[in-house]
Every structure is written in C-alpha cells, then in structure tokens.
C-alpha cells in the first residue's frame, strides 16, 4: 500500500490511476488501526493500486473529499468516486466492489 504524504501526491494518484482504493486513517484511531491490516491483507488479491493517507498529516485530503470521520475506504474509477465505506467496512462487500472495478478495467482494456 503506497503512502500519500501530500495533497499533490493524492491528486496525481487520483488523476493518473484509472481505478484505485484510498484508505483514510487518522492518528490515535483504534478502529483505523484494526481495519488497516485487514485491507492490506487483501491488496495482493487485486490488480488495483491501494493507497493510504493519515489525515492528521494531510488534512487537505479530508477537506477536499468531504470526510468527517475515519476510517474511510474510498474506491474510484476514472476520477470519480464509486464507493465510500465510512467507519465500519464490511470486508465482503469491499471485496465485491474491488472485483467489480477489476472486471470493469479488464473489459475496457
């Protein structure tokens, strides 16, 4: 999982990658700390770039995306948000959405 450390870095990922996942966490968030390893564990199952950002360090990301809580898992396709999971992330539904994104990308290639 690639770490986003600046707002510009996030913009490049959003604009350059056709599809992707962004894991948003914050410092001192026990739910974030519990969920992150679960999301990292499924990364190798998909050909989708995974990113993470700590909004305590890059608050512009939270502001621009309208995020009011953490954790958030955001999926995007061609610069458009496709799915947002906030606070509690059902892993089976996340896997289903990732599979759909991957299939879409494969069909469009």
List pLDDT tens digits, range 43-101: 999 999 999 999 999 999 999 888 888 999 999 999 899 999 998 899 999 999 999 99
Its pTM surpasses 0.85: yes
* Res 109: pLDDT: 41
Per domain, the residue ranges of the chain are 2-108
Closest CA to 2 of 33, 28, 40, 37: 40
Question: Which CATH number fits the domain 2-108, given the four candidates 3.40.30.10, 1.10.10.10, 2.40.30.30, 3.20.10.10?
Answer: 3.40.30.10
CA 96, 32, 88 angle in degrees (round to 5)?
45
Per-residue pLDDT tens digits for 15-29 = 999 999 999 999 999
Asked if residue 69 lies in contact with residue 86, where contact means CB atoms within 8 angstroms, the answer is yes
Residue of 57, 93, 58, 59 lying closest to 73 (CA atoms)? 93
């Amino acid at each position: 999982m690639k770490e986003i450390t600046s707002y510009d870095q996030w913009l490049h990922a959003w604009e350059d990658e056709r599809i992707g996942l962004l894991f948003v966490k914050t410092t001192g968030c026990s739910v974030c700390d519990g969920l992150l390893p679960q999301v990292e564990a499924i990364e190798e199952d998909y050909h989708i770039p995974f990113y993470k950002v700590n909004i305590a360090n890059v608050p512009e990301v939270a502001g621009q995306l309208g995020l009011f809580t953490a954790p958030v898992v955001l999926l995007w396709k061609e610069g458009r948000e496709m799915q947002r999971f906030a606070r509690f992330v059902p892993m089976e539904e996340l896997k289903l959405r990732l599979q759909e994104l991957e299939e879409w990308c494969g069909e469009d290639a």
